[in-house]
Structure 1
Amino acid sequence: MEPRLQPVRKVLGWFEAEESLYNDCRFPAFFFEHGGPFYYRTPSLGGSGIKIGRHDGGLTTDPDMTNRSFGVYPSDEQDLQQFIQTYLPKGVGRFSKGGVCLYTKYPIHKREIIAIGQKPAKDTM
Structure 2
Amino acid sequence: MNKADLIEELADRMGGDHQLATEALENTLDIIVRTVASGESITIMGFGIFEKKARAARVARNPHTGESIPVPPTSSPVFRPGQYFKSVIQGTEKLPEGRLAAKRSSSHQSFGSLTKNGVDHRDKVS
**TM, length-normalised to structure 1:** 0.25
Q: Comparing both structures, which one devotes a greater share of its residues to helix?
A: 2
Q: Comparing both structures, which one devotes a greater share of its residues to strand?
A: 1
Bigger Rg, which one: 2
Higher RCO (CA < 8 A, seq sep 6+): 1
**TM, length-normalised to structure 2:** 0.25
